[in-house]
């Protein structure tokens, strides 16, 4: 049955559009119950023509009509949006922030007392129902509201409730993670091209191999090292490649990449502190 809840999405860039797409594809929301606003006219036109949802002309219109208001603007734009959101009656509504690095304790400063606030870190795979989404409530947010957001995001992927202190770590891993995986897929495909495979064929092999390997980890629950050992036969071909991966220090590079992305999320809020504290 389609949800009667109305979801408003402010900011229809990459993440806002991914959320719209994922929710629509679940068929649990009618296109009339998904509302959006972006400050760029061209973007509003694009969203209307691509998804057929209701595209409104201001933040306030979205807030007034929606019971869940998802804010999907860049962290540096969030104060401006929160101020506009906070001018409305938010009774019975849930404010959902997708912004990297911005904690709920900062968000609530711009909203009327007792506003229900949930913070989430999704990723772009939400657009096809395969997202990884971590959510956390602000102090005082009811379990009912957190449950509603969990239910909403479950339409777009796997959801985990997490302590807010881990949000920056999550941002570096599952938020930024798709970009790291794409680099790996591209490198796999380049290797195929080097060995004479057509580019298209190489991409198919690389992407499907990554998808299948990930699905095996998820569906078996096995430690990745155990699954790796199933591929590596003694004296075989794979061990030759693995030696190169270890020589190149791939593990350390990936650990460092996630750590740096997480650190940047932490720094984002620190960088905005002067504006927040005004
Ligand atoms: N992309 C990801 O993979 C990802 C993953 C997880 C979380 N997030 C989070 O999602 C948020 C959005 O990221 P994104 O990658 O989607 O950014 P984006 O592509 O830049 O989209 C943000 C959109 O919001 C618009 N905007 C800015 N201020 C606005 C306002 N006052 N009212 C309405 N619209 C406004 C922007 O317009 P302008 O371009 O003119 O500013 C832009 O079209 C960020 O906070 C990010 O941390 C992103």
pLDDT digits (tens, 9 = 90+) for 203-214: 999 999 999 999
Question: Whole-angstrom Cα distance, residue 159 to residue 9?
Answer: 19
**Ligand 1 neighbour 172 (Cβ under 6 A):** no
Three-state secondary-structure class, residue 56: coil
Q: State which of 20, 50, 62, 73 you would mutate to test the pocket of ligand 1, scoring each by most atoms of that ligand within 8 A of its C-beta.
A: 73
Q: SS3 for 24-46, per residue?
A: HHCCCCCHHHEEEECCCHHHHHH
- Rounded to the nearest angstrom, the distance between the alpha carbon of 15 and the centre of ligand 1 is 7
- Model confidence over 145-175: pLDDT tens digits? 999 999 999 999 999 999 999 999 999 999 9
In this prediction, residue 276 carries a pLDDT of 61
Partners of 116 in beta bridges? 94
- Residue 51: pLDDT band (50, 70, 90) is very high
- Rounded to the nearest angstrom, the distance between the alpha carbon of 11 and the centre of ligand 1 is 5
The reported pTM is 0.94
For residue 112, which phi and psi values (nearest 5 degrees)?
Answer: -55, 150
In this prediction, residue 270 carries a pLDDT of 80
- Model confidence over 233-259: pLDDT tens digits? 999 999 999 999 999 999 999 999 999
In this prediction, residue 274 carries a pLDDT of 65
In this prediction, residue 269 carries a pLDDT of 80
- Rounded to the nearest angstrom, the distance between the alpha carbon of 278 and the centre of ligand 1 is 23
Is 80 exceeded by the pLDDT of residue 2? no
Classify burial at 117, counting beta carbons within 10 Å of its beta carbon; exposed 0-12, middle 13-18, buried 19 or more. buried
Q: Which atom of ligand 1 is nearest to the CA of 16?
A: 16
In this prediction, residue 114 carries a pLDDT of 93
| Contacts (Cβ under 8 Å, ≥6 apart) of 29 | 2, 3, 5, 7, 23, 155
Q: Which atom of ligand 1 is nearest to the CA of 77?
A: 28
| Nearest CA-CA partner of 9 in 110, 156, 192 | 156
């Amino acid at each position: 049955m389609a949800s009667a809840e109305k979801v408003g999405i402010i900011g229809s860039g990459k993440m806002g559009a991914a959320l719209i797409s994922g929710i629509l594809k679940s068929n649990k929301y009618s296109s009339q119950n998904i509302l959006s606003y972006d400050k760029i006219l061209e973007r509003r036109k694009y969203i209307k023509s691509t998804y057929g949802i209701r595209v409104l002309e201001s933040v306030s219109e979205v807030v007034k009509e929606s019971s869940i208001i998802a804010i999907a603007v860049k962290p540096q734009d969030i104060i401006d949006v929160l101020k506009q959101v906070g001018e409305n009656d938010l009774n019975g509504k849930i404010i959902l922030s997708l912004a990297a690095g911005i904690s709920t304790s900062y968000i609530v400063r711009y909203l009327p007392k007792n506003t229900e606030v949930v913070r989430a870190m999704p990723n772009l795979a939400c657009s096809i129902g395969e997202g990884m989404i971590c959510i956390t409530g602000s102090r005082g947010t009811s379990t009912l509201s957190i449950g509603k957001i969990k239910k909403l995001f479950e339409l777009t992927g796997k959801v985990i409730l997490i302590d807010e202190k881990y949000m920056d770590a999550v941002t570096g891993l599952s938020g930024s993670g798709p970009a790291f995986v794409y680099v790996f897929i591209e490198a796999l495909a380049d290797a195929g091209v080097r060995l004479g495979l057509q580019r298209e064929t190489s991409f198919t092999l690389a992407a499907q191999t990554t998808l299948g390997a990930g699905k095996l980890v998820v569906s078996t629950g096995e430690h990745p090292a155990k699954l790796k050992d199933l591929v590596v036969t003694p004296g075989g071909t794979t061990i030759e490649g693995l030696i190169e991966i270890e020589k190149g220090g791939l593990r350390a590079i990936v650990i460092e990449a996630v750590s740096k992305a997480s650190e940047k999320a932490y720094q984002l809020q620190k960088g905005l502190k002067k504006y927040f504290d005004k």
